[in-house]
Amino acid sequence: MLSRVANNLFWMDRYMERSYGLLNLIKTNYNSTLDSGDYSSWNKIMQTYLGIEYEKEFTSHQDSISIILYILFDDSNPNSVHNMIIKARENARSVQEHISRELWLSVNKFYLHLSQDNISVKYKKNDPITIVNELLQFNHIYYSVADITQERGNAYCFMNLGKYLERVVQSVDFLSIRISNLNQNEENLYESYFFKNLLISIGGYQLYLKTFKSIFNIENIIEMIVVNESFPRSIIYSVNKLQVHIKRLNEFNKINNRDLIFTVGKLKNSLKYTTIGSIKSKGIDEFLKEIKIALNQISVNINRTYFYQTY
């Protein structure tokens, strides 16, 4: 497989995963503003996804629907959902002969849906949840189509590298922006909806209830997001998946990627022996910093091993 193609497959899935994360956040944050009436909560989403420079422009929006439309459709913003899907599709278009026909169709349909001429006008009158659900459905279709139609070769592995790297970055960001900065004295912390929305936004509400019943505390949340192996958005889950696909690529291509195997194996094992106790004694910020450095090394090594070939 061409390095350029591998790189484009990787980014196709990164953008799809990123749009998925953002759409979920929009949905839950809208829900929580209905409960709390606190519009400042949108700022955190902006920080995570859109970058500080877009925050100012954004304060001019007063109601949730116009904020949501801004995040979805503003073309001047490279991280609007529309732009992400354009990029995912560009990547898909350039690797059409490596992905299944069905997968290409699903990305293209998503793109065509978002590119309709008057879609933001149409959406203005709609319920935001319905809008976002409609879009999320395209992501769900994408994942399932990839699952049942894509051959398990190089292409599938590179797509998964992109997907899980993006997902683990999102989970780390979630912890560092939404949890570690949490002001313990904040009033609404004691409102049950706060935790509910927090957990829903990362897709872990149901699992949390099953595991910890209705007792909400921050340590449990951190534990679930870092080391719960059966939670598909936990850090350890994504790192395990990264390792699986890197090993598979190693079998397919028989090239020297010792550094990559080493860095991902090291991170996996250090997570394996991590407990909420060890995180607390180290401090959540320090712990997250170490993970970020390890992810950075993995990403550099993926680049070096697969995407930039020289002789």
Partner 1 sequence: MENLLKKYKQYPNTWDEMFDSKGSIRNVYRDFGSYLKNTDFDSLTQMIDFTSQFFKNQGITFTVYNDNKGVERIFPFDIIPRIIEHKEWRSIERGITQRIKALNLFLKDIYHEQFIIKDDIISGQLIVNNKYFIREMMNLSVPKDIYTHISGVDLVRGKKGEFFVLEDNLRTPSGVSYMLENREITRRLYPNLMPKHKVLPVDNYPQVLYRQLKTLVSKQNPVIVLLTPGLYNSAYYEHATLARLMGVELVEGSDLVLYDHEVFMKTASGLKKIDVIYRRIDDDFLDPLCFNTRSVLGLAGIMESFRQGKVCIVNSPGTGIADDKAIYSYVPKMIKYYLNENPILQNIETYQLGNKDQRKYVQDNIENMVIKKTDGSGGYDMLMGNKASAIEKDKYLKKVKKNPNNYIAQPILNLSTAPCIINGKLAPRCLDLRPFAIYGANKIEVCPGGLTRVAMEEGSLIVNSSQGGGSKDTWIIKK
Cα torsion for 251, 257, 263, 265, to the nearest 10°?
A: 20
Q: What is the DSSP letter of 99?
A: S
Which one of residues 97, 187, 213, 273 is an interface residue with partner 1 (CB under 8 A)?
Answer: 97
Alpha-carbon span 52 to 130, nearest angstrom: 28
- Binding flag, residue 4, partner 1 (CB under 8 A): yes
Residue 9 makes CB contacts below 8 A (sequence gap 6+) with 91, 95, 98, 99, 155, 158, 159, 162
Stretch that binds partner 1, among 43-51, 105-113, 139-147, 281-289 (CB under 8 A): 105-113
Stretch that binds partner 1, among 4-12, 20-28, 144-152, 265-273 (CB under 8 A): 4-12
**86 or 284: whose CB is closer to partner 1?**
86
Tell me if 124 sits within 8 A of 69, measured CB to CB.
yes
Torsion sign over Cα 13, 18, 19, 20:
positive
Among residue numbers 136 through 195, which ones bind partner 1 (CB under 8 A)? 154, 158
**29 or 154: whose CB is closer to partner 1?**
154
Block residue for tokens 């997907």: 163
Question: Shortest Cβ distance from residue 218 to partner 1 (Å)?
Answer: 42
- Binding flag, residue 100, partner 1 (CB under 8 A): no
- Binding flag, residue 249, partner 1 (CB under 8 A): yes
- Binding flag, residue 3, partner 1 (CB under 8 A): yes
Residue 237 makes CB contacts below 8 A (sequence gap 6+) with 228, 229, 230, 231
Alpha-carbon span 91 to 98, nearest angstrom: 11
Question: Shortest Cβ distance from residue 86 to partner 1 (Å)?
Answer: 12
Which one of residues 34, 112, 148, 293 is an interface residue with partner 1 (CB under 8 A)?
Answer: 112
CA 284 to chain centre: 20
Which one of residues 31, 44, 64, 90 is an interface residue with partner 1 (CB under 8 A)?
Answer: 90
**155 or 227: whose CB is closer to partner 1?**
155
- Binding flag, residue 94, partner 1 (CB under 8 A): yes
- Binding flag, residue 289, partner 1 (CB under 8 A): no
Alpha-carbon span 249 to 98, nearest angstrom: 16
Alpha-carbon span 230 to 233, nearest angstrom: 9
Tell me if 226 sits within 8 A of 279, measured CB to CB.
yes
- Binding flag, residue 306, partner 1 (CB under 8 A): yes
Which one of residues 47, 108, 150, 240 is an interface residue with partner 1 (CB under 8 A)?
Answer: 108
**34 or 112: whose CB is closer to partner 1?**
112
Question: Shortest Cβ distance from residue 152 to partner 1 (Å)?
Answer: 15
Residues that bind partner 1 (CB under 8 A): 1-6, 90, 93-94, 96-97, 104-105, 108-109, 112, 154, 158, 249, 252-255, 306-307, 309-311
